[in-house]
Copies of this chain bind each other. A is one copy, B any other.
Amino acid sequence: MRSAGGCAVNSIVVSDYYIEGQSFDGSVGVVETQYAEFSELPLDSGLMLSPLTIAYEIHGALNDNGSNAILILHALSGDAHVAGYHEGDIRPGWWDAMVGPGKAFDTNQYFIICSNVIGGCKGSSGPSSLHPSGDRPYGLRFPVVTLPDMVRAQKLLLDRLGIERLLAVCGGSMGGMQALQWVVAYPEMVGSCIPIACTHRHSPMQIAFNEVGRQAIMRDPSWKGGDYYGGASPDAGLTVARMIGHVTYLSDESMREKFGRRLRDKEVLGYDFASIDFEVESYLKHQGEVFIRRFDANSYLYITKALDYFDLRNGLGTLVEALSDVPVDTRFLVIAFSSDWLYPAYQSKEIVRALKGNGLDCTYLDIHSSFGHDSFLVETTQQTHLIKNFLSVTARRLGVKSAG
């Protein structure tokens, strides 16, 4: 195994480690978030983010020629913790079903990297990080960040890890948008790309839902222009923003299956608005209230704005033209889900058409699923089959050998 720029690149795989009642079959086991420090990152705005911290987690082992690395990109509320368990945790990382020994992203074969986006709040530099002056967290003094900025930060991390080329970049939702940005920004570095349930730019409806969430946060008196750290947080606003998000992540069909019109606690008519009547209300309230314990309201503002601004074309004319520098041997697997109305299949098809317009090797699948946008997180069986084969063919074509 190759040493990678001073960083330990082997993840902590403890296959015989057990938490009581918790099986680690097929799990990468207990993992730790690592942190890479950089002096600065130039941003699209012309400003410099300095210093820069990137939180990341790695799984599997890098092979001798460093050719088996896969970068996984997370969605709006995700983080670097893609798989395995943090010490003492009961719940694994956000894509644990997909990343591990024998899984879609097989850690016996591939070296997996996942980092927290800049602007986030899970270890990478963001508005809740301490301002360089040391007075207090940035708040809105944190510079505007874009999806290309996030990708540029990931490039810094890969340089640090000594990874010169990626076997694949992959992500769902915002992660898929970053994966596309990767092939445009660093076309020679990417062997294949798996954008899932995403778009090359937000529609007005996607912008609209994000904007309502932002308004909920900014109209919360506790938001205080983003300078709320150390005092009361804008929990009410962030809760409502998350509730809006959750409605858009589900589908009419999955909600009917999941909740129906079941009443909670009581069957009699009569309500005081504080109580919960329908199970779907209980679910949303729970999701909103759990979220405020793990997410920063300002990060929600910064990241959703980055999403809304993103346009893969970036002033380069058509989408076909934007993808014209992608090497012809780059392979693509584009996945959409039938019930995803937030990132509808037509948006994935736009990407596919532009790839085909450049004569690129592209497989497209519209997976039939009732889970809406959440499908990319939960429809793991079908995705495993697709991605496992896709990576296997890609690795064979590129002559990639696993570590070991």
Convert A248-278 into 0s and 1s, putting 1 for each residue whose CB lies closer than 8 angstroms to a CB of B.
Answer: 0011100110111100000001111110011
> Contacts A226-B273, A305-B273 hold; do A255 and B204 have CB atoms under 8 A apart?
yes
Inter-chain contact A273/B258, CB cutoff 8 Å: no
Of the candidate stretches A7-15, A59-67, A281-289, A390-398, the one touching chain B is: A281-289
CA gap between A226 and B258 in the complex, in Å: 31
Contact of A256 among B203, B216, B240, B269 (CB under 8 A): B203
Is A366 positioned at the interface, with any CB of B under 8 Å from its CB? no
* Cα(A308)–Cα(B277), bound, Å: 10
A213–B258 Cα distance when bound, in Å, is 21
List the B residue with the shortest CB-CB distance to A223: B273
| Chain B residues, CB < 8 A from A208 | 247, 250, 255, 280-281, 284
Q: Which residues of B contact A169 (CB under 8 A)?
A: none
Determine which residue in A240, A250, A270, A281 has the highest number of CB atoms from chain B within 10 A of its CB, and name it.
Answer: A240
- Taken together as a complex, chains A and B put the C-alpha atoms of A26 and B6 apart, in Å, by 80
Shortest Cβ distance from A345 into chain B, in angstroms?
Answer: 12
In whole angstroms, what is the CA distance A211 to B277 when docked?
10
B residues near A214, Cβ cutoff 8 Å: 273
Given A203-B256, A308-B278, decide whether A284 and B211 contact each other with a Cβ distance below 8 A: yes
**In the bound complex, CA of A255 to CA of B203 (Å):** 8
Residues of B within 8 A of A52 (CB): none
**Nearest CB in chain B to that of A250: its residue:** B205
Is A25 located at the chain interface by the 8 A CB criterion?
Answer: no
- Copies of this chain present in the complex amount to 2
In the complex, the answer to whether A280 meets B204 with C-beta atoms within 8 Å is yes
Which B residues are in CB contact (< 8 Å) with A274?
Answer: 218
Would you call A204 and B260 a contact (CB within 8 A)? yes
Q: Does A219 have its Cβ within 8 Å of any Cβ on chain B?
A: yes
Measured between beta carbons, the chain B residues less than 8 angstroms from A308 are 277-278
Minimum CB–CB distance from A127 to chain B (whole Å) comes to: 10
A207 touches B243 (CB 8 A): no
Q: Which residues of B contact A209 (CB under 8 A)?
A: 247
- The 8 A CB mask of A207-244 against B (1 = contact, 0 = none) is 11101101110111100001000000000110110011
A202 part of interface (Cβ distance < 8 Å): yes
Query: B205 contacts A252, CB within 8 Å?
Result: yes
Q: How far is the CB of A301 from chain B (nearest CB, A)?
A: 5
Residues B215 and A243 in contact, CB atoms below 8 Å apart: yes
Are A269 and B215 in contact (CB-based, < 8 A)? no
Would you call A35 an interface residue if the criterion is a C-beta within 8 Å of the partner chain's C-beta atoms? Answer: no
Q: Which residue of chain B has the shortest Cβ distance to A268 in the bound complex? A: B45
Complex CA gap A274/B146 in Å reads 18
Q: Provided the pairs A205-B247, A219-B240 are in contact, do residues A280 and B211 lie with their beta carbons within 8 angstroms?
A: yes
Is there an interface contact between A273 and B140, defined as CB atoms closer than 8 Å? yes
A215 contacts B201, C-beta separation under 8 Å = no
Asked whether A296 is an interface residue with its Cβ less than 8 Å from the other chain, the reply is no
| C-alpha spacing A285/B218, complex, angstroms | 12
Q: List 10 A-B contacts (CB under 8 A).
A: A144-B271, A203-B256, A205-B256, A208-B250, A208-B280, A211-B278, A216-B216, A240-B240, A273-B305, A278-B308
Task: Please give 20 more A-B residue pairs, beta carbons under 8 A apart, in addition to A211-B285, A271-B305.
Answer: A140-B273, A201-B261, A203-B255, A203-B256, A204-B252, A205-B255, A207-B261, A208-B247, A211-B278, A211-B284, A215-B243, A215-B284, A216-B240, A219-B236, A219-B237, A252-B344, A273-B301, A273-B305, A277-B305, A341-B341
